[in-house]
Chain A
Amino acid sequence: EPEVTQTPSHQVTQMGQEVILRCVPISNHLYFYWYRQILGQKVEFLVSFYNNEISEKSEIFDDQFSVERPDGSNFTLKIRSTKLEDSAMYFCASIRDLMNTEAFFGQGTRLTVV
C-alpha cells in the first residue's frame, strides 16, 4: 500500500541551528501538508502546498519556516534558527486531489531542540 515516508524519524538539534525535515508523499497525490504536534497537544496545521507553491499557511508558519519540493518527489520543511519551542512531532500529509481528500500521514519526525 502506498504510504507517506518521512526522514529522519528523530532529529536532535541545538538551538539556533537549521533543520530540514524530509517527506516523500504518495506518488499520485497533488496536495501536500505539514502539521505539527507538540507533546500532549493537538495536531496543528502549518502549511499546505500545491502546484509548487504555498496555498495556505497558519500563524505558526512564520519567516522561520519554509517549504519546497526541489525534485518532484521530496517535500521538505526547513526551520531556520530553531527555538526550544519548535520541539514537536512534525507530520507530513498528502491528499490525492480535491475530490479525494482523505489525508494520509507519514510516521512523523520527532524534532528535539536543545
Chain B
Amino acid sequence: EDKVVQSPLSLVVHEGDTVTLNCSYEVTNFRSLLWYKQEKKAPTFLFMLTSSGIEKKSGRLSSILDKKELSSILNITATQTGDSAIYLCAVEGGSEKLVFGKGTKLTVNP
C-alpha cells in the first residue's frame, strides 16, 4: 500500500526563522511528489517534483526531491505569520491519484 509520512506533525517558530519540513514515501511506480499549502480550506498547489525536476524554488520556498532516499524537503526561509498553515505532501504513484501525508502544521508567531 502506498504510504506518505510527514514530519514533524507540528512546528512552532518565530517570524524570521527558517524551517524544513520532511516527507518520505513508499509508492509503486513513483511519478511525482507534490507540496500543497492548506490554510482554511483547499490545498493550494506549491510545487511538483519529478525525476526530471528534483529542485524547485519560488521566493522564500524551495523544495528538493531525493529519489534515492525516497524523500523530499520543503524549506521556508525568513518565515512570516502568513506562512502559518498545514503543509501537505502528496505522491502520485502508478495511477494519477494522489496519496497524502498527514501534513505538518506550521505556526509562525510574530
A interface residues (Cβ-Cβ under 8 A, vs B): 31, 33, 35, 41-45, 48, 55-56, 58, 89, 91, 93, 95, 98, 101-108
B34 close to A103 (CB less than 8 A) = yes
Q: Which residues of A contact B31 (CB under 8 A)?
A: 101
Q: State the CA gap A93–B99 with chains docked (Å).
A: 13
Q: State the CA gap A12–B48 with chains docked (Å).
A: 35
Q: How far is the CB of B17 from chain A (nearest CB, A)?
A: 26
Q: State the CA gap A107–B98 with chains docked (Å).
A: 17
B101 close to A48 (CB less than 8 A) = no
Q: Which residues of A contact B42 (CB under 8 A)?
A: 91, 105-108
| A-B complex: 3 closest residue pairs judged by Cβ atoms | A43-B100, A105-B42, A45-B97
Q: State the CA gap A43–B96 with chains docked (Å).
A: 15
Q: State the CA gap A33–B88 with chains docked (Å).
A: 17
Asked whether A103 and B41 contact (CB < 8 A) given A42-B103, A43-B88, the answer is no
Asked whether A48 and B100 contact (CB < 8 A) given A89-B41, A101-B32, A103-B34, the answer is no
B101 close to A42 (CB less than 8 A) = yes
Q: State the CA gap A95–B96 with chains docked (Å).
A: 9
B interface residues (Cβ-Cβ under 8 A, vs A): 31-32, 34, 36, 41-45, 48, 88, 90, 92, 95-103
B98 close to A45 (CB less than 8 A) = yes
B97 close to A43 (CB less than 8 A) = no
Partner of A33, one of B45, B48, B97: B97
Q: State the CA gap A91–B88 with chains docked (Å).
A: 14
Q: State the CA gap A31–B98 with chains docked (Å).
A: 13
A31 close to B45 (CB less than 8 A) = no
With both beta carbons as reference points, the residue of chain B lying nearest to A6 in the complex is identified as: B42
Q: State the CA gap A55–B97 with chains docked (Å).
A: 10
Q: How far is the CB of A83 from chain B (nearest CB, A)?
A: 23
Q: State the CA gap A55–B95 with chains docked (Å).
A: 9
With both beta carbons as reference points, the residue of chain B lying nearest to A48 in the complex is identified as: B97
Q: State the CA gap A58–B100 with chains docked (Å).
A: 14
Q: Which residues of A contact B100 (CB under 8 A)?
A: 42-44
Asked whether A101 and B96 contact (CB < 8 A) given A42-B101, A43-B88, the answer is yes
